[in-house]
């Protein structure tokens, strides 16, 4: 390429007109995905609309355009990869619009109650009978917080990415990705002189969204403020009762929903917002019966919230309560038949026994798995212990022990760092392609101090439980040498510490395709396999699993053939560890192949068990 051609490429500008076709407009979640994609090109990319030109890599800037359905804008790409950026972003945007389905309004079923009712807009179905409690925010300040404002922002971004990764099987996970991209924008790259300057910036961004179609996104900015301040020791938390209650709140932030889930919440009444807000989406995801009622609501010792009909009865009669309870029972029975049978054994129509295990991240998710009917733990992600600061052996041991006590069998995945996951206290060399670099067992074998401490903690915890079998699973193993070295390290530690290994077995996450071609050799070494379907798919198709535009059909014949080849080539215990097992179309294929152990998120277990009973 001569100089003239290079100069031409650098100065190439391509304009394309795109139209918003989604009924929801071009809102925060698709904007975040679009921004993430636009960052990949060596080009200056902007959007032009309403006489404004804004950067395509800045979420707040695009939000400020307030692009509604039928609005058009110009995608302008300039630079070396202008043509490539234009072509790919045009397709990407159109796919975003096509896939951004309108949130369906809940069709309310008319119900006649004797007492006076307040009507509301239904957010999430269900019926609650409990006292009314008004939301109160308490501020708690820790002294001598060690974090700086920049550290607090970075830690919040990591937490949001982690929430997204852990929940991405759910539609609501896109909220965490959107908030992470919002916080990653240049708006928050300033060297803030103090916390007040950061707060002022949040207020400015919120002010710009006032009286626009995206006014509900103000809550996301306020939520980010609270999450960042939390890492500075400034906690703003809901004061919530220990008894069953219906919460009335002028507004709730998305992060509040996780707090509500830790309490005996029965229902929620929002006094602002709409059914498309991120808070509303998370309320639906959490299955908390909810209404929007903007008028004043008095306290009540026993109220009825009927989100199926849109009614709130503050002073119900005995007949009203009786009717609501009957409706509540019928509703729960229709939804939770599978939940009621969650502790029963799981057999297919042909009588084949299937174990359904849980993928967990910490003690709370372990308890949820126990209550959901998990037959054991198929994947304990240990990264939660290492995310903020380096844990001691004693801290790790105590955490593992609490989880080991709950189940008869627990599979512990050793630290899986690398790729898109890092540790704030342990710098890693920058890699051009981290998903193909120092990740999983490769990281552990390089950072052996951390690895040895984790293995020791697992062993010490296993010594304290009599009836729990522990499976230690090494991630991202690609050859037998890695497994041999990792297991040798563990055995040496356990011999030195006189830890009995009769209840401990060693296996690998089967997620690197090279293992498929060496299964006979691995069979002589490992005690078990667990197929990491997400990463195996990623490496089979060379498509990053978090890629916003490139997707793989989870029922691809290629993937199914690989899974069939794996199970037909080994006699060792093997499980599917990933959300593939919860995918309805995949389930029958997996069971037909002969897979008898599946591991999924705790929330999916009751329904998955019931589906298995009909296969």
CA distance 160 to 181: 9
All residues at 6 or more sequence positions from 388 whose CB lies less than 8 Å from its CB, including other chains: 155, 424
Q: For the chain, what is the total number of helices (H) and then of strands (E)? A: 21, 23
Active-site choice (27, 163, 256, 278): 278
- Tokens representing residue 12 in the block: 């190439």
Element (H, E) at 396: helix 393-404
CA distance 204 to 52: 18
Ordered DSSP codes for 295-323? S-----SSEEEETTTTEEESS--HHHHHH
CA distance 470 to 474: 13
CA distance 510 to 556: 18
Per the document, the length of the chain is 615
Q: Tell me if residue 542 falls in helix, strand or coil.
A: coil
| Contact present, 491 and 501 (Cβ < 8 Å) | yes
Q: How many CA atoms lie within 13 A of 151 on its CB side?
A: 12
All residues at 6 or more sequence positions from 604 whose CB lies less than 8 Å from its CB, including other chains: 169, 579, 582
| Sequence-separated contacts (24+) of 326-332 with Cβ below 8 Å | 327/111, 327/127, 328/127, 328/128, 328/129, 331/125, 331/126, 331/127
Q: Any bridge partners for residue 380, and if so which?
A: 360, 412
CA distance 353 to 598: 11
All residues at 6 or more sequence positions from 223 whose CB lies less than 8 Å from its CB, including other chains: 179, 253, 254, 255
Active-site choice (27, 77, 231, 577): 577
Q: What is the DSSP letter of 271?
A: S
How many Cβ atoms from other residues are within 10 Å of residue 172's Cβ?
20
Q: Any bridge partners for residue 409, and if so which?
A: 469
* CB-count exposure of residue 189 (10 Å: 0-12, 13-18, 19+): exposed
278 is catalytic: yes
- Residue identified by tokens 């306020």 is 222
| Sequence-separated contacts (24+) of 519-523 with Cβ below 8 Å | 519/566, 519/569, 519/570, 520/569, 521/480, 522/480, 522/483, 522/570, 523/570, 523/571, 523/572
In b/e form, how buried is each residue of 369-396, taking b as 16+ CB within 10 angstroms?
bbebbbbbbbbbbbbbbbeeeebeeeeb
CA distance 105 to 122: 8
Q: What are phi and psi of 501, to 5 degrees?
A: -105, 15
77 is catalytic: no
| Contact present, 280 and 253 (Cβ < 8 Å) | no
| Strand pairing report for 121-124 and 290-292 | antiparallel
- Tokens representing residue 320 in the block: 């009203």
Catalytic residue set: 278, 577
């Amino acid at each position: 390429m001569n100089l003239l051609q290079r100069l031409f490429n650098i100065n190439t500008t391509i304009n394309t007109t795109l139209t918003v076709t989604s009924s929801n407009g071009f809102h925060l979640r698709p904007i975040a995905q679009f921004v993430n994609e636009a960052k990949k090109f060596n080009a200056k990319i902007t959007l032009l609309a309403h006489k404004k030109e804004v950067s395509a890599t800045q979420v707040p800037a695009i939000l400020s355009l307030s692009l509604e359905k039928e609005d058009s804008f110009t995608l302008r790409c300039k630079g070396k990869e202008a043509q490539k950026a234009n072509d790919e972003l045009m397709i990407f945007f159109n796919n975003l619009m096509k896939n951004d389905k309108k949130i369906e309004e809940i069709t309310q079923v008319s119900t006649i109650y004797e007492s006076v009712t307040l009507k509301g807009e239904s957010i999430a179905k269900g019926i609650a009978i409990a006292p009314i409690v008004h939301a109160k925010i308490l501020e708690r300040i820790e002294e001598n917080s060690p974090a700086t404002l920049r550290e607090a922002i970075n830690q919040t971004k990591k937490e949001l990415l982690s929430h997204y990764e852990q929940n991405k099987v759910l539609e609501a996970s896109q909220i965490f990705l959107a908030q992470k991209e919002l916080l990653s924008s240049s708006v928050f790259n300033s060297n803030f002189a103090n916390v007040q300057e950061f707060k002022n910036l949040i207020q400015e961004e919120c002010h710009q969204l006032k009286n626009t179609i995206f006014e509900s996104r103000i809550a996301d900015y306020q939520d980010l403020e609270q999450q960042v301040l939390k890492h500075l020791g400034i906690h703003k938390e809901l004061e919530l009762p220990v008894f069953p209650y219906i919460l009335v709140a002028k507004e709730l932030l998305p992060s509040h929903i996780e707090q509500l889930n830790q309490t005996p919440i029965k229902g929620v009444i929002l006094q602002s917002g709409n059914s498309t807000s991120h808070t509303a989406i998370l309320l639906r995801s959490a299955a908390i019966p909810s209404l929007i009622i903007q008028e004043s609501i008095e306290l009540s010792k026993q109220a009825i919230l009927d989100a199926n009909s849109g009614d709130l009865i503050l002073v119900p009669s005995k007949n009203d309560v009786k009717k609501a309870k009957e409706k509540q029972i019928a509703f729960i029975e229709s939804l939770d038949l599978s939940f009621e049978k969650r502790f029963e054994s799981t057999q297919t129509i042909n009588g084949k026994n299937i174990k359904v295990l849980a993928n967990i991240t910490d003690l709370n998710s372990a308890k949820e798995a126990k209550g959901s009917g998990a037959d054991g733990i198929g994947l304990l992600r240990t990264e939660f212990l290492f995310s903020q600061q380096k844990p001691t052996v004693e801290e790790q041991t105590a955490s593992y022990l609490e989880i080991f006590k709950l189940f008869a069998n627990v599979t512990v995945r050793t630290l899986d760092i690398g790729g898109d996951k890092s540790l704030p206290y342990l710098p890693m060399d920058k890699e051009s392609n981290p998903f193909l670099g120092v990740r999983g067992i490769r990281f552990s074998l390089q950072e052996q101090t951390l690895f040895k401490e984790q293995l020791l903690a697992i062993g010490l915890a296993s010594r304290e439980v009599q009836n729990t079998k522990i499976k230690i699973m090494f991630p991202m193993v690609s050859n037998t040498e890695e497994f041999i070295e990792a297991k040798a390290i563990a055995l040496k530690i356990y011999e030195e510490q006189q830890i009995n290994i009769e209840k401990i077995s060693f296996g690998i996450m089967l997620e690197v395709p090279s293992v498929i071609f060496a299964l006979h050799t691995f069979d002589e070494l490992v005690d078990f396999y667990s197929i990491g379907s997400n990463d195996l798919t990623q490496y089979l198709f060379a498509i990053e699993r978090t890629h916003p535009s490139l997707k793989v059909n989870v029922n691809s014949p290629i993937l199914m053939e690989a899974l069939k080849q794996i199970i037909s080539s080994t006699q060792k215990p093997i499980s599917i560890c990933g959300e593939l097992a919860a995918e309805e179309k995949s389930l029958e294929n997996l069971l037909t192949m002969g897979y008898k152990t599946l591991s999924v998120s705790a929330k999916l277990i009751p329904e998955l068990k019931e589906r298995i009973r009909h296969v």
